[in-house]
Amino acid sequence: MNKPEPILRLFAKYNLNGFLLWNESLDFFVNCNDLFLWGTADAQKVTSADVVLIEATIKECWAIDPDCYEFDGLYLWVARQRKMRPQQCEYPDSEKLWPLFDACGPERPHDGSGKVSVVARS
């Protein structure tokens, strides 16, 4: 059985609450809208069994670039689950992390955006 507490603790610990979706059955999902395709409502299922790997992926990103964002590691976990690279414009701002995302799947056609993330930074 999927236990919600480890998932909720992980997302709270890394301030990723805005990326967490769930339904009335308490199935949990990572919100990854537009990460792989434009104009797409998309989510990756996450279970309590995934918590250790998600946290390890966040820490893996920090080991390469301590200034990267927590959601970079979360999105890397999603890309690895799908064995698919995000669209070019959704790559993390930190170019040091690009090889990790490149390793997730085959090269995609260029989307014409010119660079990386369209995520607003505060």
- What residue ranges do the domains of the chain occupy? 4-102
pLDDT of 108 reads 80
DSSP string, 50-109: GHHHHHHHHHHHHHH-TTS-HHHHHHHHHHHHHT-PPPGGGS-S-GGGHHHHHTTSSPPP
pLDDT of 16 reads 97
pLDDT band at 15 (very low <50, low <70, confident <90, very high): very high
Write down the mean pLDDT value for the chain: 90
Task: Reply yes or no on whether the pLDDT at 113 is more than 50.
Answer: yes
Question: Can you give the pTM of this predicted structure?
Answer: 0.88
pLDDT tens-digit map of 51-98: 999 999 999 999 999 999 999 999 999 999 999 999 998 999 999 999
Mean pLDDT calculated for residue range 12-17: 96
